[in-house]
Amino acid sequence: MKYKIIGGIIAAVFLIGVVGSVLVLTSKPKNTVRIVSDGRTLYTIDLSTAEDETFTVGYGGHENIVEIRDGRIRVADADCPDKTCVRMGWLSNASMPIVCLPHHLVIEFTDDDGDVDALTS
């Protein structure tokens, strides 16, 4: 009896994992990103309509250079000591945002599909 209960729990966890994976993989692709500094949204960008550009996001006298190219976004360069945000590369999915802890910067996909042309601050 004990083994049947444990087997049922394992099967239920496995089933929940499969269903969750299917939902994540079949969800509508997100094209809108938010650039947040110190908890405040600086920009909301629709990558499907954004023009290729490079711009600087500053914080406390420091800078992150953000690049948009071919409907993708990344931190191209930063003057933080570890450059983890630069090594993260292009933002590829909603589960892993680009984060620069020293500069309090987060670039993440958002569900906000409002009428955003390219950049709003």
Distance CA 10, CA 30 (A): 32
Dihedral (Cα; 55, 73, 58, 116), 10-degree rounding: 80
pLDDT digit string, tens, across residues 14-70: 999 998 888 777 665 678 999 999 889 999 999 989 999 999 999 989 999 999 999
Burial label, 102 (beta-carbon count in 10 A; 0-12, 13-18, 19+): middle
Set out the domains of the chain in order of their start, with CATH numbers: 30-109 (2.60.320.10)
Per-residue HEC secondary structure of 49-76 comes to CCCCEEEEEEECCEEEEEEEECCEEEEE
- pTM, to two decimals: 0.68
